[in-house]
Structure 1
Amino acid sequence: MDFLQLSGKTVLVTGIANRKSVAWHTASLLKAAGAQLVLSVRSEARAQSVRKLFPDEPIHVCDFSQQSQIDSLRDAVAAQFPVLHGLVHSVAFADYSAGWLPFHQTPRSAFLQAVDISCFSLIALSNAFREQLDPQTGSVVTISISTTRMAAENYGYMAPVKAALDSSLCFLAKSFSQ
């Protein structure tokens, strides 16, 4: 039984890193449900490792901090799949090269980069693929772990970044519905 009703539907899944990533589990479930997958990863090295996990699926490289690469991803996917039924945004990045610091010492550049890649990329990706999404069944899904009710110290400055992602999803849904 196709409980997800995705058999034959085309879904772009972003952010697969390895077998431990949420995106890998999501893509595996979608594939088992009969969906046609299109995958996006952040680097060519990552594409080579993901090809071992999904040898039959098209894999594209996209740096989500670069709008030009998001647009190129859209064009490449559209050439092969003119209609998408879903986008799975599972992209996140935080630069902890300065070490694990108290939240109030988070470097501005690191925080803004995390917001750009982990949050704004959802908006950029959705806008880029909006015309390609099936108007009846198209869905945008993001993967988030929001901790807005408590300060999860082990999550560093990604907690408020993911809270921004959660909020952005609500506003994006409202905006797209108009």
Structure 2
Amino acid sequence: MFSLVGKKALVVGIANESSIAFGCAKAFRAQGADLAVTFQNAKAEPHVRPAAEALGAKIVLPLDVQEDGEFGRVFDEIEHLWGRIDICLHAVAFCPKPDLHGRVVDCSRGGFTTAMDTSVHSFIRMVQRAEPLMPAGGTCMTVSYFGAEKVVEHYNIMGPVKAALESASRYMAAELGPKGIRVHALSPGPLKTRAASGIDHFDELMARAAERAPTHHLADVDDVGAYAAFLASDEAANITGGVHYIDGGYHIVG
């Protein structure tokens, strides 16, 4: 029903094959897109590079979003090799463990600043760098969570952080819509990823979510990837600014 053949996609945030970013990259490639994939550092490279190469990624580059200038190097290389970008997927979040596991009211200034910079401002920087390489339009996506909208036990400071991410996505969608650049936030329910394992009592959270969801099934990374691939397609050219729930209906249950 749709195709990404000829499109160029940058995927940031793959840690391993259980990552949401990997599910999205796999779906983009299955629909014909060319891939550029990043890894955080030398420690992450042995886990990410084989996964990227298995997907046929044309470009594999280091990118630590907390380091100044690294987005510039990635997009300079993409411009040099491809001349443009059509799809950007951002699946990066981090908060120091003491702040992640503590109350919001006790969050340190340093922890809050780190969480906001890594999880939110890095997406803004990605979109800023992508904009001039999307002269014919494109799609930028990030990954959020229901804890941005409602209080989710043990999600703590990441709730306000993800709320900021969703708000930034809406504002950028409004600003870039006239250029044909769409901006989306994907909101899966709880998924078994390495990043999610840092949340306190996460297994309990997943069990309760599956019980509450109308489908009684949690989404997986392939579900997220399929939805992301559609949003990246020309058939979704008039959809922007949304928070897209991929959670078995969990978000509709009171």
Q: Given the two structures, how large is their TM-score scaled by the length of structure 1?
A: 0.90
Count of matched residue pairs:
175
Asked whether the 8 Å contact 1:10–1:37 carries over to 2, the reply is yes
Find the counterpart in structure 2 of residue 65 from structure 1. Answer: 66
Moved more, 165-174 or 151-160: 151-160
| In structure 1, C-alpha distance between the alignment counterparts of 2:94 and 2:2, rounded to whole Å | 29
Whether 2:8 is the aligned partner of 1:32: answer no
| In structure 1, C-alpha distance between the alignment counterparts of 2:26 and 2:116, rounded to whole Å | 27
| In structure 1, C-alpha distance between the alignment counterparts of 2:156 and 2:5, rounded to whole Å | 39
Asked whether the 8 Å contact 1:16–1:41 carries over to 2, the reply is yes
SS of aligned partner of 2:43: helix
| In structure 1, C-alpha distance between the alignment counterparts of 2:135 and 2:100, rounded to whole Å | 43
Find the counterpart in structure 1 of residue 104 from structure 2. Answer: 103
Q: Structure 1 residue runs of 4+, over 2 Å off?
A: 146-150
| In structure 1, C-alpha distance between the alignment counterparts of 2:149 and 2:52, rounded to whole Å | 37
Residues 78-126 of structure 1: per-residue CA shift (max 9 Å, x gap): 1111111111111111111467212211111111111111001111111
Asked whether the 8 Å contact 2:20–2:91 carries over to 1, the reply is yes
Asked whether the 8 Å contact 1:13–1:38 carries over to 2, the reply is yes
Asked whether the 8 Å contact 1:17–1:46 carries over to 2, the reply is yes
Greater C-alpha radius of gyration: 2
SS of aligned partner of 1:163: helix
Q: CA deviation at 1:149?
A: 3.8
Asked whether the 8 Å contact 1:146–1:163 carries over to 2, the reply is no
Asked whether the 8 Å contact 2:37–2:61 carries over to 1, the reply is yes
Give the alignment of 1:1-150 within 5 angstroms: 3-55=1-53, 56-57=56-57, 58-97=59-98, 100-136=101-137, 138-150=138-150
Residues 106-163 of structure 1: per-residue CA shift (max 9 Å, x gap): 1111111111110011111111121112424x11111111424421122221111011
Identical columns (%): 26
Unaligned runs of 5+ in 2: 179-254
Find the counterpart in structure 2 of residue 173 from structure 1. Answer: 173
Unaligned runs of 5+ in 1: none
SS of aligned partner of 1:53: helix
Asked whether the 8 Å contact 1:94–1:111 carries over to 2, the reply is yes
| In structure 1, C-alpha distance between the alignment counterparts of 2:160 and 2:147, rounded to whole Å | 8
Residues 11-63 of structure 1: per-residue CA shift (max 9 Å, x gap): 00111011221101111111111110101221122222112112132211111
Distance change in 2, residues 1:154/1:99 (3 Å)? closer
Distance change in 2, residues 1:118/1:149 (3 Å)? closer
Distance change in 2, residues 1:164/1:146 (3 Å)? farther
| In structure 2, C-alpha distance between the alignment counterparts of 1:35 and 1:4, rounded to whole Å | 12
| In structure 1, C-alpha distance between the alignment counterparts of 2:2 and 2:165, rounded to whole Å | 24
Asked whether the 8 Å contact 1:85–1:134 carries over to 2, the reply is no
Asked whether the 8 Å contact 2:147–2:158 carries over to 1, the reply is no
Asked whether the 8 Å contact 1:47–1:60 carries over to 2, the reply is no
